[in-house]
Structure formats: C-alpha cells, structure tokens
Amino acid sequence: MRLPPFSTLTALEAAARHRSYSRAADELFVTHGAVSQQIRKLEEDLGVRLFLRQGNRMEPTDTGAALAASVTEALASLKRGVQAARNAACGPIVLSTGAAFATRWLVTRLARISAETGELDLTVRVEDRVSDLSSDGADVALRFGVGPWPGLESVRLLNERLFPLCSPALLERHPINKPEDLLNAPLLRHTALPWSAWFQAMGLPAPDLPPSLGFDDTSMMLDAAAQGLGVALARSGLSERDIRDGRLVRPLAGEVEVDTGHHFVWRADNPKLPRLLKLRDWFVAETANSRGQ
C-alpha cells in the first residue's frame, strides 16, 4: 500500500490538534496556504473529506480525527525511535583491553587520546577475557592475536617481535655479547613465550634450561626483569616504555618476528561508528609513530 506524503500527514495531525490551519502553519514553520494545500492533496489522495469549517475553527471529520490520532501515535513512536538511536550514538565509548597492554602502552597515552581526538567520554575496561563487542557493552577492543575475527572489523596496530630484555644492573653482572652468553644468565620464563623459539631463530639448538622464575603475565615478568631478577623474552608492543625510560635494555640485537600482533577491533554496525573510526585513526597514527621511533 502506498502511503501519502509525510508532509500531508504532519499537516493533518497539527491542524486536527490545533483545530486551525493557521496555528498548524506556525508550528510547522510554513504558511497557512501551504497547510491548506497539503490537506487538500491528502483529501484528494484518500477520496474523503477530512475537515469541516465551523466558524473560525477547522473541525476534523470522524475520518480525519481517526487518521490524525493514528498519525499522532506514529509520530510518537518515530520520535522514540529517533531518540533511542540518538542515545545509542551518545554515551561513553567502552574500550576493552588486556591488563598488560593497558598498563604498559595505553595508560601513558590516555590524556593525549582525549586532547587529540576530542573524545572525552571514554571508558577503559581492563579484562582478561575476549570481548565479543555484541552483547557485553564494549564498543572497541584492543585485541592481541592473529586476526581477522568473523563478523568484526579490525586493523593491525603493532606487529609483534620477541627479544631479550634485562636491567642495566643485571647486564653488568652478566655481560651478554652473543646469544650463547644468555645461558650463563638467569632467564625468566613466560608460559606462552618459550625461549626455544628465540634460540632457534638465532641458529642455536633449543637449550635445556634449568628451573627458573615463571610468569603467565607479561607485565609482571617485565617488572621482575627491571628488578634484576633475570632476562625476559619480551614482546615489543609491551616493552616500549621500559626501554624508553631505561628500566630495561636490549643486550642483543637479535629478534624474532611472530604472527601475532595488536589490533583495533570494532563492529561496523555500531551506532557510535563515526566516533569509533576517529578513535581508530588516532590509534593507527600513534602506533605508526611508535614504529618509526
């Protein structure tokens, strides 16, 4: 069924409510003649009389009153839908990220994110689980992995490289000039980053390492390395600040490129999409600057 033009229906609704074409015209910011013409078009379209003049008043007929009531109800529903859409586009952008990336990379940049993007309403949610971005309230994820992920948009921010890091004090106690020298230093273990991968990439057989401190949290392992407890096999994306501040140093240049990396992940149907894309562009530019340093 073909519906009449929207302008004719709004003219009908306003005129029926005010019982006046003039007052309807004032509300709609048009002329009296425009309202009269719209209602006349609607009457011709429907083939029925919608208003009768009674003195200075324009009284809707029974059909006109019934149709006006339906339009009033429809307009109220439309306004609620528009407001809901507007509200969905407002509110905080909820960013989900892992603890290590939040504390080693993100936290030092939070003030600049707001200043340089104009995004003042940002909530950072630090969690170990992987946010699905559909039912858990998160809008964006800074996700570590290979990607891409089904149903989600993503852009890689940082490729991941592995290399040894230690404190300057430990390096004084255990001079390290070649990969084999690491075997004479205490090596910190990470449950997901075996030293064997690095040694093999350096052309050495995987060593049979003695028992040592082990961690399943990268941030804690880097802190332990900064305390001089051992040499850590570090991920480049999480050790940038420690190297820049001099807490940790690279005793050797050798490094291993891995498939995993850090990604900015979002849903294309998110009502906050324009704001998310602006935030995405900032992260892309920021990580490009980091790679160039």
pLDDT of residue 274 exceeding 70, the answer is yes
The two structure tokens encoding residue 252:
């050797």
What value does the CA radius of gyration of the chain take, rounded to a whole number of Å?
Answer: 32
- The string of pLDDT tens digits covering residues 140-154 is 999 988 888 999 999
Question: Contacts for 191-197 with beta carbons within 8 Å, 24 or more apart?
Answer: 191/215, 191/216, 192/216, 193/162, 193/233, 193/235, 195/233, 197/162, 197/256
- The string of pLDDT tens digits covering residues 182-216 is 999 999 999 888 898 899 999 998 888 888 899 98
Q: How many CB atoms lie within 10 A of CB 259?
A: 9
What single string gives the DSSP state of each residue in 241-270? HHHHHTSSB-S----EEEEEEEEEEE-TT-
